[in-house]
Amino acid sequence: MSSTTGTRGESVTPANPAYGTVVDTTDVTALLERGRALSAPVLRAAVDRLAPPMDTVAAYHFGWIDAQGRPADGDGGKAVRPALALLSAEAAGAPAEAGIPGAVAVELVHNFSLLHDDLMDGDEQRRHRDTVWKVHGPAQAILVGDALFALANEILLELGTVEAGRAARRLTTATRKLIDGQAQDISYEHRERVTVEECLEMEGNKTGALLACAVSIGAVLGGADDRTADVLEAYGYHLGLAFQAVDDLLGIWGDPESTGKQTWSDLRQRKKSLPVVAALAAGGPASARLGELLAADAKSSDFDSFSEEEFAARAALIEEAGGREWTAQEARRQHTVAIEALNGVDMPEPVRAQLTALADFVVVRKR
């Protein structure tokens, strides 16, 4: 893996959890910026339709205002999905703009799931800020999540076209998988052992399905047939698995300054993420020792007051058992499968190059 498509401006050279190499992400920055610029006004207009106080709560969630209602220049996230939805339209030979309602609908569903998942999981922080349920209470988190989900369907269905109906159906399928994934995630937290296969299935549902939808929805709105959309979804699904594998690495070894999460974040939440389940499945002394420790942790009443050193010791065992390296390899595997999937469909070469660059970006990001 080396520098890919960047030609303009200065190189960004992030440390690379999956590859450990230097990648030029210049073009990706522009792609993400375009996705954000074209979708943000439509997203804001959609959220403005919400009745008070839901509009305010949603604006807080998106980072447009702070907890006191003052305008904020919030971190709206990486905006990978809007960028994919616009490229998706171009992959079908339509203008990027044809993908905008899809980009906005996918962002609305993504943020609906964040609002509800943060509440279900008891997560108090997201993107360096208190989560909605912490600031506005659980009822508003539920209600505004519901409203964003409904709004996603509204944005598509009000287009009134056959294509919009097909796009809404794909979004609904993806949302159902998203919900299945969250159900699995919750149930796994109460189980002592989760297999690598179960973990991958859960991550495919939680992350793969909506990324897959983002990469197909623009094409569907742009008039693509189902076969083209399915191929694009295959790319997006594996991209999502690569994305999540990197997320799982960052969830344990990420820099809190970059991720906006606590150190050892996923370990503190007892998440059975890929590095953990891979380490437990690996066998050998470190794997066995990790299994004993996590089993004891599950019963420990002191868990919430564990020191940095205690989490660091668990992270070291995961690494020693091979969970870190396996997960980095998995990210590379999924990245490769994603890019190969693109061969199944004709599309303008610049679009193919940009989808490839985005896939590269996903595995090298630091947050």
> Under rule CB under 8 A, which residues in 31-90 are in contact with a second copy?
51-54
Q: Which helix (H) or strand (E) holds 15?
A: none
Q: Does 147 bind a second copy (CB under 8 A)?
A: yes
Percent helix, strand and coil across the chain, each to the nearest 5:
70, 0, 25
Candidates 143, 288, 293, 337; binder of a second copy (CB under 8 A) is 143
Name the residue nearer to a second copy (CB basis): 172 or 263.
172
Candidates 9, 20, 138, 283; binder of a second copy (CB under 8 A) is 138
List Cβ neighbours of 210 (8 Å cut-off, separation of 6 or more): 81, 106, 109, 110, 113, 174, 175, 177, 178, 240
Tokens of 125: 């922080």
The conformational region for residue 164 under phi > 0 = left, psi -120 to 50 = alpha, else beta, is: alpha
Least Å distance between CB 197 and a second copy? 15
Name the residue nearer to a second copy (CB basis): 186 or 312.
186
Number of residues that bind a second copy (CB under 8 A): 40
Q: Look-up: residue for tokens 């590269």? A: 360
Q: Does 135 bind a second copy (CB under 8 A)?
A: no
End-to-end CA distance of the chain: 20
Cα–Cα distance measured from residue 367 to residue 359, given in angstroms and rounded to the nearest whole number: 15
Name the residue nearer to a second copy (CB basis): 119 or 252.
119
Residue 254 DSSP label: -
Least Å distance between CB 147 and a second copy? 5
Backbone angles phi, psi at 35, to 5 degrees: -60, -45
Least Å distance between CB 96 and a second copy? 24
Name the residue nearer to a second copy (CB basis): 178 or 274.
178
The CA-atom distances, in angstroms, between 1 and each of 169, 332, 335, 349 are 37, 10, 11, 20
What x/- string results for residues 149 through 188 when contact with a second copy is judged by CB under 8 A? Answer: xxx-xx--xx-x-x-xxx-xx--xx-xx--xx-xxx-xx-
Least Å distance between CB 334 and a second copy? 23
Least Å distance between CB 156 and a second copy? 9
- Let me know: does 102 contact 218? Beta carbons within 8 Å: yes
Of the listed pieces 15-23, 141-149, 191-199, 354-362, which binds a second copy according to CB under 8 A?
141-149
CA atoms within 13 A on the CB side of 119: 20
Least Å distance between CB 261 and a second copy? 21
In the complex, the residues that contact a second copy under the rule CB under 8 A are 51-54, 112, 116, 119-120, 138-139, 142-143, 145-147, 149-151, 153-154, 157-158, 160, 162, 164-166, 168-169, 172-173, 175-176, 179-180, 182-184, 186-187
